Structures are given as structure tokens and as C-alpha cells.
Amino acid sequence: MKEELKIFYHIFTTTKDAIEKFMNMLDPVIQNAIDDHERLYYHHIFEEEEQRLSRLVVLIPLIQKFQQEKEEKDFSPTNNEFNRLLQELNLEKFGLHNFVEHLDLALFRFKDEERSTLLNQLREVSYKDYQQVKAMLAEINGRFDTNYVDPHAYHDEEHDHLDRSATSAPTKATTTTNSRGMQPKKGFTVGSLI
């Protein structure tokens, strides 16, 4: 677990810097928005990343605490603080996933050299980190036999729609399958998720 904590620490300090870069890019966009719709749109993304940042500010010291003070026996689901750590990590897996999509959405709009270069850099790192966090948490959740259910699991069964190489396939058909595969009415009952 020590080795994994080291990787988590690295990933979440990296993404914390990335959020700040992204927010700095969005700030003038919000100030100079051409209408209310555009302003709300970027302001909304800004706020979601701001919420994520405020959670990371708590999570990163928690990871450090486990890195420095704890023995291997403390990495157990009977330890309440370890459970909290796992729960936060599972939440921030989605935070990373959503960040990749925020970057993709921004890439549709900001085509100039400077911003698209920055966005592509952040996107590349964040996507790789998201994949690694997802794989590590799948392994950890399995190892500790937590009851954690991944609400995105059925996406992953089909394909990972964040994977850019997958979009070389006809995008329309791919995403339609994805959307249909969700079947909100059928899939989102309490019984099927817990």
C-alpha cells in the first residue's frame, strides 16, 4: 500500500496544479463571455473544479498522513480513517474523469496555439492519471473486498469513451451505444446499484 500511496500522492498533487492552470485559463473567458449562456457554462466548470480543488486540499494531507505515520496493519477496512481515505479516492477518480471531459469540452472551443497546447498537455497527463487511479482502485477495492460499486462500471464494459483512439471508430454509433447502454429508467433503481 505504501507504493500505491506514493503514486496517489504524485497524481493528486499534479492534478491540483493542473486545476489551477485550468482555472487561470478560464478566468478571463468568464470575464469576457459574450452572453449569459457562455458565462454560466464556463463559470459552472470553474466552480466544479474549485469544489474538486477544495477536496484535494483535504485529501492530499490525508494521503501524506498514511504515508508517514501508518503501519501496514492500519490499511484495513476496520480502520475508519482508512475507509475514509478509500472513499475519498473513489470520489476523486470521478473528479479526474470529469476533469478530462472539462478539458475535452474546452478543446472544442479554444483552438488558438497557446490554449490548445496547454489543454492538450493537461489532458494527456490527466487521462493517463485517471486510467492509473481507476486500475489501482479496482485492485484495492477488490483486495479489501469493499462493497464499493462503481457507477461507471457498465461504461467500461463496453469501451472507454474517454479514449481518443476509440473515437477513430464512427463516433455517432459509438456514443449512441453508450447512451443507450445506460438505460436510465432500467439501470438506476436502488436495487441495481447497491
Binding site for a copy of itself (CB under 8 A): 19-20, 23-24, 27, 30-31, 33, 36-37, 39-41, 43-44, 46-48, 50-51, 53-54, 57-58, 60-61, 80, 84, 87, 91, 94, 97-98, 101-102, 104-105, 108, 149, 151-152, 161, 167, 171, 175-176, 178-180, 182, 184-185, 188, 190, 193-194
Full DSSP string of 103-135: HHHHHHH--SHHHHHHHHHHHHHHHHHHHHHHH
With CB under 5 A, what is the number of residues at the site for Fe ion?
1
Identity of the residue numbered 169: A
Q: Rounded to an integer, what is the distance from CA 114 to the centroid of its chain? A: 24
| Residue 166, binding choice from Fe ion, a copy of itself, none, Cβ under 5 to 8 Å by partner class | none
Of 17, 142, 7, 13, nearest in space to 67 by CA: 7
CB 184 → Fe ion: shortest distance, Å? Answer: 17
Number of C-beta neighbours around residue 153 at 10 A: 9
**CB closer to a copy of itself out of 4 and 101:** 101
From the list a copy of itself, Fe ion, none, which binds 53 (C-beta under 5 to 8 Å, kind-based)? a copy of itself
The residues, ordered by sequence, that sit 6+ positions from 139 with a Cβ below 8 Å of its Cβ are: none
> Contact 141/37 with Cβ under 8 angstroms?
no
43, interface contact from a copy of itself, Fe ion, none, CB < 5-8 Å by kind: a copy of itself
Which residues from 20-79 bind Fe ion, rule CB under 5 A?
48
- Contact predicate 124/14, CB 8 Å: no
Q: Is 104 in the site for Fe ion (CB under 5 A)?
A: no
Q: Measured from the CB atom, is 53 or 136 closer to Fe ion? A: 53
What's the CA gap between 82 and 96, in Å, rounded? 21
Out of Fe ion, a copy of itself, none, which partner does residue 67 contact, by CB within 5 to 8 A per kind? none
Q: Which amino acid is at 153?
A: A
Return residues touching Fe ion (CB under 5 A): 48
